[in-house]
Structure 1
Amino acid sequence: MSRTSALDTLIELTREAVDNAGRQLAGARRNQQQAQAQLDTLQHYRQEYSLRLQQAMQEGMEPASLLNYQAFLRSLDDAIDRARQSLGEQARQVGQHQQHWLEQQRKLNSYDTLVNRRMQAEQLRDSRSAQRLTDELSAQLRLRGNAFTASSGNSL
């Protein structure tokens, strides 16, 4: 009985660990999506700003404005690089959280398998016990039937 309750406690703790790991994984995926959205926004903004620079150059612009555009594009490129690094880090975090969730899930599955095997063994024991009882009752009925037939045959 104590083994079953200890196993039940272990299963409950593991289910909580699976739930926690799932929440952490979901959070990491949200962070990854946010990092991807930020990178997409920066890349889109850089593309627009680059088009503006080309248009301004076609229309003619002062060298100081050109330097300002180029400096801003460099700062956008730096921000894009940082966003890519952040996205890579978020992808790594997702991988780690997913691995942790899978490990917890495997652990829970192994405990469930153990419980199922224990239940099957219990059912087999119960079935064999019931069969033995049935066999014993049948044997006793045959013995009584034979004893009754023998005693009836003697009185004739």
Structure 2
Amino acid sequence: MTTASPLHTLIELTREARDKAGQLLASERRSETQLTTQLQTLNHYRLEYAGRLQQLLSTGIDPATLHNYQQFLGSLDASITRARQAIDQQQQRVSAGQQHWQQQQQRLSSYSTLTQRRTAALQRQTQRQELRQSDELTTNALARQGVNGLHEHETQER
């Protein structure tokens, strides 16, 4: 059973690594969701301010206000671009985190399979030993009966 102990330790370490990878993956997914929400908010603001600018243009607007709106929309556009880039990067981190988690899960499954095979082999070995012992007991019992029967037969012949 000494070979199972290091394997058990390895399984526990791998399980911990898989769990940590899962926690990191969940965190990366939450970050992705937050970034997506921020992008939606920025898009909403952009649409809202573009709509206001359209209303002002139809009713008349002074050049300074027009310039301010254009600059603000430009900064919103830049923020939207940065948000999209951040989401792309975050999606790459999520994908890497998912691959890492899957690798850890696969390692854990491999170690579990190895443990199951070792356990089955030990059970087969134990069964063979028990069968050999049972056969030996039966053989010895039959041999004793044969010797006792031979002695009885010799005693009767005398």
**TM-score (norm. length: structure 2):** 0.91
Unaligned runs of 5+ in 2: none
Displacement, 1:63? Answer: 2.5
Query: Which deviates the most, 125-134 or 5-14?
Result: 5-14
Q: Distance in 1 between matches of 2:2 and 2:123?
A: 19
Query: Which deviates the most, 80-89 or 95-104?
Result: 95-104
Quick one: percent identity of the two aligned structures? 47
| Corresponding letter in the other structure for 1:39 | L
Q: Deviations over 1:122-145 (max 9, x none)?
A: 000001111111111122222223
**3-state SS, counterpart of residue 140 of structure 1:** helix
Is 1:83 equivalent to 2:71 in the alignment? no
Aligned runs of 1:19-58 on 2, under 5 Å?
19-58=19-58
Q: Distance in 2 between matches of 1:2 and 1:145?
A: 42
Match of 2:110 in 1: 110
**TM-score (norm. length: structure 1):** 0.92
Q: Tell me the number of residue pairs that the alignment of Structure 1 and Structure 2 aligns.
A: 156
Match of 1:144 in 2: 144
Match of 2:99 in 1: 99
Query: Which deviates the most, 51-60 or 84-93?
Result: 51-60
| Corresponding letter in the other structure for 1:21 | A
Match of 2:12 in 1: 12
Root-mean-square deviation (Å): 1.5
Displacement, 1:53? Answer: 1.2
Displacement, 1:113? Answer: 1.1
